[in-house]
Structure 1
């Protein structure tokens, strides 16, 4: 009598994993309306994935607790990042009165409190002291380096952080609404200004203390929130394509110089060209050259000669 043996069930054929989309050369700017809770690094990854782009970077970090405009450069647009980062920025932010935190926003721990609350008249009277070129001490939790270490890393490790005041320019600071416990402001400022420091210093000057409870960036250089696309829109292929702005969009605030083909070839080789024509500028710190509607180079003009600083492969 033979022993019966059971036959093993046939295995299901395994499906091969879907191949990853091939990375491609994509050149241009995506102006993202970054949502609350998302890091700038994650935002760049979202945009990079939406376009299957080989190269991407952002123009100015926006903290997870802040929302709003985060310009992201793809491909050759990364060469124009400094023109965006050096531009003016605009914010809408809300200050909660009555407490100061070690981070100057809601993320930190409360280090001091006050029962006082300012009235709108007192706040408005103080704003001229915070406009123009002023001396500002950056927050202890900031990316400024001290002996090669980021201030926020030192602060998180419990070390005492002392930062020196430095000049910043605040071109506008106005009240949007005031309800007693909080006040919402609009600010326009230059590079290196910390809105958290504005809130901290306003609270100290008013004697009531304060910290940022809400922060939204609405403009960076030539880009405004009206240009911005949402994360949801970028996950839709058609809308993602519409969100891509040309590389030259970052250069909208500096002069454009049109050059002929031979001059364009010289610039692409990194060679200077003499600008001709009655209207050709003699001196300029920052300009960009186009030929046939194509961006060729950024540079400066000295004694009528265009000196290329960065050239583009578009």
Structure 2
């Protein structure tokens, strides 16, 4: 018997399992939540695990902010071996002896901190002429790619045991940790490939607050709903404006309102209004122009 979907709104912090694609994890969670609409906030490779924030219903309107946010990873590398894919799924291309100290590794890692250009790997989901790059790679076709500007905010040595190296990385969106692992191997002179990857954080969200699919499945629907975070957690980095009822009504009907800010800040704002029971209700985003005019930008359907 087919279950009827229901409107579900909010953000669920999921701990994606190993070998599941991000879409598979999303669809499983969507089925468990019995939700009409859902989307994830940035692809994790099937071999990677960890934090995958999922947006349901109205929260999907603000998912782009997490797509553009910084990420934190714990990565495991094997030194002395390079592979065709840059990770453990590929065939070994070259093996070299490893003779590096922790001090040498720390020095090399420090050299990767900052802005830099990174060439996306062929084994990636990036599209070229409508096909993912990994499809060309599997056919032995090399496609010319443009380098991307990324930022490594911080990179720390976690452990070194024989040829096994563990590092913690904080980086900007669009950073390929597989490519970083290969580049670290080159800089050390022995080569390397990625053997495990776990996303520890996205923006202000942490893996410690995430739930696995198995744990989610063990709960009843009411308990699953209680895990949902409100949609405005995706935009807490923006300043807020609290509106009177008439200004909120006008904005929710697509009209602009006059608003005199307490500071010189202009741009995007979180918008709230009061409710009859004294609560603050998030209604969406507005844009404040330099002429003190507030325009609706992206509003929740429930507020209109």
- 1:88-127 → structure 2 map (5 Å cutoff): 88-127=70-109
Q: Which residue of 2 aligns with 1:230?
A: 212
C-alpha separation in 2, matches of 1:291 and 1:225 = 32
- 1:10-29 → structure 2 map (5 Å cutoff): 19-29=1-11
Compared CA separation, residues 240 and 134, structure 1 to 2 (3 A): same
C-alpha separation in 1, matches of 2:110 and 2:45 = 27
Compared CA separation, residues 117 and 258, structure 1 to 2 (3 A): farther
The alignment's TM-score, normalised by the length of structure 1, stands at 0.89
Please say if 1:297 is aligned against 2:284. yes
Q: Secondary structure at the match of 1:249?
A: helix
- C-alpha deviation, 1:281, in angstroms: 4.6
Structure 2 stretches lacking a partner, 5+ long: 275-279
C-alpha separation in 2, matches of 1:270 and 1:107 = 51
Spell out structure 1 runs of 4+ moving beyond 3 A: none
Q: Which residue of 2 aligns with 1:178?
A: 160
- C-alpha deviation, 1:295, in angstroms: 1.7
C-alpha separation in 2, matches of 1:271 and 1:103 = 52
Q: Which deviations, in whole Å up to 9, do the C-alpha atoms of 1:241-265 show, x marking residues without a partner?
A: 2221111111122222211122212
Contact 1:117 / 1:180 at 8 angstroms: preserved in 2?
no
C-alpha separation in 2, matches of 1:222 and 1:273 = 32
Cα RMSD between the aligned structures? 1.6
| Structure ID, larger Rg | 1
Q: Secondary structure at the match of 2:232?
A: helix
- 2:13 paired residue among 24, 28, 31: 31
Please say if 1:80 is aligned against 2:62. yes
Q: Which residue of 1 aligns with 2:236?
A: 252
Moved more, 199-208 or 262-271: 262-271
Contact 2:10 / 2:228 at 8 angstroms: preserved in 1?
yes
- C-alpha deviation, 1:20, in angstroms: 2.8
Q: Which residue of 1 aligns with 2:111?
A: 129
C-alpha separation in 2, matches of 1:22 and 1:148 = 34
- C-alpha deviation, 1:203, in angstroms: 0.3
C-alpha separation in 2, matches of 1:104 and 1:130 = 18
Please say if 1:306 is aligned against 2:288. no
C-alpha separation in 2, matches of 1:101 and 1:273 = 59
The alignment's TM-score, normalised by the length of structure 2, stands at 0.92
C-alpha separation in 1, matches of 2:86 and 2:6 = 41
Q: Secondary structure at the match of 2:39?
A: strand
C-alpha separation in 2, matches of 1:251 and 1:72 = 15
- 1:264-283 → structure 2 map (5 Å cutoff): 264-276=248-260, 279=262, 281-283=264-266
